[in-house]
Amino acid sequence: MTDKKPDYLKRSSDEILIKAELWFAPLLVTLPIIVSIFLIRDWFYRGLALGNSTYDGELFLALIILIGNIIFDILFIKTLMTQIRR
């Protein structure tokens, strides 16, 4: 009788977590960008084109999401690449 373990039990927990991060990385990177682009488009059509200043908050929120996401994504992708190379 051989004591064979499945492949997922042979891997370390770090490898499993990195693989899970790789699957969620496109979602973590693209979803905030899509939301911020939607908010900027909504501000442009309803706020700027119609001259309604109540939509300026949407622009502010979209810029916070976009800038924060870009800063986070650069660090996230850089860290993820160093983990993959190990």
Asked if the model's pLDDT at residue 5 lies above 70, the reply is no
Please name which of 26, 44, 46 lies closest in space to residue 34, comparing C-alpha atoms: 26
What does the pLDDT read at residue 61? 94
Q: Residue 47: inside a domain, yes or no?
A: yes
What does the pLDDT read at residue 68? 93
Please name which of 36, 32, 30 lies closest in space to residue 59, comparing C-alpha atoms: 36
Instruction: Find out whether 47 and 54 touch, Cβ atoms under 8 Å.
Output: yes
Q: Tell me the two tokens of residue 20.
A: 């899970």
Domain membership of residue 40 as a residue range: 27-85
Instruction: Find out whether 44 and 8 touch, Cβ atoms under 8 Å.
Output: no
Summarised one tens digit per residue, pLDDT across range 40-77 is: 999 999 988 888 888 899 999 999 999 999 998 888 88
Q: Using a pLDDT cut of 90, give the percent of the chain over it.
A: 36
Domain total in the chain: 1
Q: Residue 40: inside a domain, yes or no?
A: yes
Overall average pLDDT of the 15-20 stretch: 78
Asked if the model's pLDDT at residue 84 lies above 80, the reply is no
Q: Residue 79: inside a domain, yes or no?
A: yes
Q: Residue 13: inside a domain, yes or no?
A: no
CA distance 41 to 47: 9
